[in-house]
Amino acid sequence: MVTVRVEVVRGDITTQQVDAVLNAANGVMRGGGGVDGAIHRAGGPAVLRDCIERYPDGLGTGEAGWTGAGELPARYVIHVVGPDRHAGETDPGLLASCYRNALMVADELDVSTLAAPLVSAGVYGWPLDDAARIAVGTVRSADGAVELVRFVAFGADAEAALHAAL
C-alpha cells in the first residue's frame, strides 16, 4: 500500500498527463455539462460508446465505473456520480463514496496517477469549501496503489478551496 500524494493545479482536466481522469458524471452516463461534457468532448465518441456499452442503465449516486479514455492523454476515465444537493442529496458520505469508489476502481485498473475535479461542486450545488475538505480528506485517508491524486481546479475559487483543505 502507498500513501497517496495530493497536489492541486489550476487548469483543464482533459489535458492532464495521468493514468486516469476522474469524471463527475451524471447518473445516465451519456455526457452532460461541466467536467462531464468537457471529458466527453475531448475524449471523443469512444468514451460515450464505452459508457453505453458498459453502463446501459447508468450508475447510482456515489458509485464509480470506468471506460477507455478515447482521445484523452489518459488511459482511462473513472466516472463517478456525485450527489446533487439541489435534489436533496445532502449526505457528505455520498460525496466521500465517490472518491473512495473511484480509488477502488483505480486500484483494479493498476492506476498510479489520477486527475480529479471537485465532484458535485458545480451545478450539483455542493459548497466549494465543504467539497474540497471531503475530497482531500477522503483521498488522504485511502490505502491502495494510487500514488498521486492531482486535483485540477477550473477556477480560482476551487483552487483556493483545495489549497485550504490541504
Query: How far apart, in whole angstroms, are the C-alpha atoms of residue 72 and residue 49?
Result: 15
C-alpha of 14 from chain center:
12
36, 110, 129, 143: the catalytic one is: 36
Q: Is 143 noted as a catalytic residue in this protein?
A: no
Task: Identify which of 155, 109, 161 has the alpha carbon closest to the alpha carbon of residue 137.
Answer: 161
Which residue do the cell numbers 483556493 mark? 160
Cβ within 8 Å of residue 113, ≥6 positions away: 18, 19, 20, 146, 147, 148, 150
Which residue do the cell numbers 476551487 mark? 158
Which residues are paired to 152 by β-bridges? 9
* Residues tagged active-site: 36
